[in-house]
A and B are shown apart, each in its own frame.
Chain A
Amino acid sequence: MSVTFKKYIPLGILSVLGFYMIASYFLAVPVIVDSAREAQNFSAIISTVALGFGPFAILRQHIPRSRKGNIYSIVLLAGLIGMPVLYLITGSTTSLPYDWLYRSTVTALDPGIYCLVAFAIIAGCFRAFRIRNIDSLLVMVAAVVLLLGKVPIGEPFKPLSDWFMAVPNTAGYRGVQLGVGLGVFAYTLRILLGTERTWLAEVGEG
């Protein structure tokens, strides 16, 4: 396939549709608004079709071979094949074996992994709150005031804690959001104008 078909035509379609969708957000022209809604429906259809290829990609990647972590691939493949088979046998997603298997694996493991956040935060706090210079001292003081302001014993610190959240924290947050907003706008513009092509593996020397 030539570069024109593989790269430039898709980039052209992306550019036209991108500007069209932006126009549909601002303009009150019924033709543009309606056709943009239709285009979004097409996006959902394409995503659904793409989803059909997913299991094949997973099979290709996880079919056991001599590498580390084969056992995890076997567990994944058992789930990928076992769950639809169980559904075909029982004919329902609310049947006891199907529901039990889902609840005792996915539902149990999800909060299990989430719980690790607590341990990770403690380890992170230990490093972040170690006083090495004036900056880390300020971080430490602010953190202690904030923590005290959130518990009944630290009631006197509540006004200062609230001030930290409402003034310096909000100021920093808005500054970051402003930069991010502009960054997203400029990046999107670069993509739509076709100048940004690093995501298509066109990388310079940096």
Chain B
Amino acid sequence: MPLTREQLVKFVKEKAGGPVGALDDDTALFSSGLIDSFSMVDLITAIERECKFRVAATDVSLDNLDSIGKILRFVNARTAVQAK
């Protein structure tokens, strides 16, 4: 089951541990320090648990994970590959 935008917004808000301003698909999550790298571990384990695939070492990058939009694109692409 792919992750939804709502799930990711909830995750980011919880992990931020304080008020989060405007949060859209392009808001930088880790490079901006909005959430820390421990939260990246939680994010990846959540992706693996929910989407039933293992995130490869080469896929752990800010190109794939630094915004809600990037995460959704990454998850959708990997889920599509899995489905083939």
Q: Do A and B bind each other?
A: no
